[in-house]
Chain A
Amino acid sequence: MQVNTAALERATGPGFEAFPLNDETIYNNEALLQEAGGETKLWLDEAYKDIDPAADDHEKLRLRTEAEDLATSTEKSPEVMLREIAGMTEVLVATRTRVTAGSLN
């Protein structure tokens, strides 16, 4: 099936600016909820509770965006985010190396 190239290029060009994680993924992510000490889930429950099935799409979108923002608003500094990314990346690669070496699994 063919797709609208212009739309796709608009979407893929900026990378993660244009591909925010979908709210269901974030909502269901245990780690994020744990990180926020359970508060995120409470906020999200509140936000989702307010989504009226009869509301118009614009309002639903606004509320979902708000819920997503709440889920991701851990307010970390760029330095902290960078350290976390570097740390997770290193652990992933080390784990992969152990598997290929036969010392895991």
Chain B
Amino acid sequence: MALLQKALQLITGDLKKQSPVSRPFRKLTERDLIELESEVGSQLFGPIPAGHRREFFCLDKHTWIWYEEWTDIETGKQKSLTTRYEVQSNGILKVQDGSNYRYIEGDELKHLGVAIRLYYERVMRGIYKTDPYTGQPLTEVPDTI
């Protein structure tokens, strides 16, 4: 439950009210870094439709979170879907809204793998200024993340 609570706090917390980007000189917390990473992650799948909120981030060394939030066109109510990908020794378990779960395979596994590779590349270079292959600090700052 601690894991789920942590993910929910990251997703539903006051992310926009306390953007780490607006306070660049204070020490960054784990949560700040995850928010920065998620900003990169949310852009991997093309433009985010108006009225949507999307988060995609690595929560811990066993868990990836994909969160989508939108407004129901008929009821006007906010809806959301949280998908958790658990990296296990025998596969990647996909859990949606805590109940529906299965191991992913085929194209879905391939797409997730490519998404994580892109995330890894961009986050390591863009946020941590580290070469993703060697782990050494980058000497040049990339133009974009």
Residues of chain A touching chain B, judged by Cβ–Cβ distance below 8 Å, are 1-5, 8-9, 12-17, 19-22, 25-26, 29-32, 72, 76, 78, 81-82, 84-86, 88-97, 99-100, 102, 104-105
Contact = CB atoms under 8 A, between A and B. Distances in A.
B105 A78 contact: yes
B130 A104 contact: yes
Interface residues of B, number: 59
Nearest to B77: A5
B113 A84 contact: yes
Contacts of A4: 73
Interface of B: 27-30, 33-34, 37, 44-46, 49-52, 58, 60-62, 64, 66, 68, 70-74, 76, 79, 81, 83, 87, 91-92, 94, 96, 104-105, 107-118, 120-121, 123-124, 128-130, 132, 135, 137
Contacts, number: 141
A15 B114 contact: no
A19 to B, nearest CB: 5
Given A4-B73, A29-B118, A84-B117, A92 B124 contact: yes
Given A92-B58, A100-B33, A32 B117 contact: yes
A95 B74 contact: no
